[in-house]
């Protein structure tokens, strides 16, 4: 593990809270107490604070059925770590000097995780597109499983983002119509078009005048919060963002 030389920024308590979700899901499913104790011992024994860019190295034992992609997926996009899935795969291979085609069961490898505070790497003004057309007889995305495991429902306020943790609540504000601001839950990865920064569901895109017809819109996006138990709490999350719309700007 690499500890910061000059600990500044994220507090110890804040980092512990965020990391507990990772350890709980990866090492101690269903036991947040054990997860917190693990992190307290292995991650936070020295620094009182942590700063953006610090690297934490997690030891992982390869299991039957693992491949380099699904190993990275266990850690990719989880707060407070921001690292592109492919970049993390490359880092795992480079750090361990392994052949990803010949992984050994029970082999221990190191997962290098870079700390990044959410708002520092979120591009605020982006081009939004939309996906999941309910009017098409056959659509490649509507009602299909998303990266979160939840189905893509065009009639829900959801979106795809390349980096934000799944389960994030994001405020979307159209540049030309700031009074039409609304919130979405990030449930998927994308868009995969280089110039676009967020993919909105049909219902979300419908809130921006003219976007369904044009296909894109310039928006500001703002990270608000993240629920590590978003899959379980998904109906409640949707109800809350619909009940409490963003204030007019």
CB 177 within 8 A of CB 209: yes
CB 133 within 8 A of CB 153: no
CB 14 within 8 A of CB 51: no
CB 246 within 8 A of CB 183: yes
Q: Selecting from 3.40.630.10, 3.40.718.10, 1.20.140.10, 3.10.350.10, what CATH number does the domain 10-117 have?
A: 3.10.350.10
Omega within 30 of 0 (cis) for the link into 80: yes
Topology of domain 122-243, per CATH? Barwin-like endoglucanases (2.40.40)
> How many Å apart are CA 60 and CA 110, to the nearest integer?
6
pTM for the full predicted model:
0.58
Cβ burial of 48 (10 Å; 0-12, 13-18, 19+) is: exposed
> How many Å apart are CA 185 and CA 174, to the nearest integer?
17
Same CATH fold assignment for domains 10-117 and 122-243: no
Quote the DSSP letter at residue 6. Answer: S
* Tokens (6 digits) for 107: 């082999």
pLDDT of res. 19:
57
Sequence spans of domains, the chain:
10-117, 122-243
Q: pLDDT tens string for the chain (249 positions)? A: 333 332 334 455 555 555 555 544 444 444 555 555 555 555 444 434 455 666 777 778 899 999 998 888 776 655 455 556 677 888 899 999 999 999 999 999 988 877 665 555 566 899 999 998 887 766 677 778 888 889 889 999 999 988 777 888 899 999 999 999 999 999 988 887 778 899 999 999 999 999 999 999 999 998 887 776 788 899 999 999 987 666 544
CB 93 within 8 A of CB 100: yes
Transcribe 58-76 into DSSP letters.
EEEE--TT--HHHHHHHHT
């Amino acid at each position: 593990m690499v500890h910061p030389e000059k600990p500044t920024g994220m507090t110890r308590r804040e980092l512990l809270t965020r990391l507990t979700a990772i350890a709980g899901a990866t090492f101690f499913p269903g036991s947040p107490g054990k997860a917190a104790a693990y992190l307290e011992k292995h991650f936070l024994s020295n620094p009182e604070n942590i700063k953006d860019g610090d690297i934490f190295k997690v030891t992982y034992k390869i299991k039957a059925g693992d491949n380099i992609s699904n190993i990275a997926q266990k850690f990719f996009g989880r707060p407070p770590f921001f690292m592109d899935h492919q970049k993390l795969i490359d880092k795992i291979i480079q750090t361990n000097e392994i052949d990803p085609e010949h992984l050994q069961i029970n082999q221990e490898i190191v997962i290098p995780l870079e700390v990044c505070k959410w708002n520092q790497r979120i591009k605020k003004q982006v081009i939004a597109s939309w996906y999941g057309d309910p009017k098409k007889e056959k659509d490649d995305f509507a009602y299909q499983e998303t990266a979160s495991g939840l189905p893509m429902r065009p009639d829900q306020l959801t979106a795809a983002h390349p980096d934000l943790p799944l389960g994030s609540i994001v405020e979307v504000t159209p540049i030309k119509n700031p009074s039409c601001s609304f919130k979405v839950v990030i449930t998927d990865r994308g868009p995969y078009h280089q110039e676009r920064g967020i993919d909105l569901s049909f219902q979300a895109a419908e809130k921006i005048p003219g976007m369904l017809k044009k296909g894109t819109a310039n928006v500001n996006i703002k990270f608000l919060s993240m629920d590590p138990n978003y899959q379980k709490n998904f109906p409640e999350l949707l109800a809350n963002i619909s009940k409490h719309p963003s204030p007019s700007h």
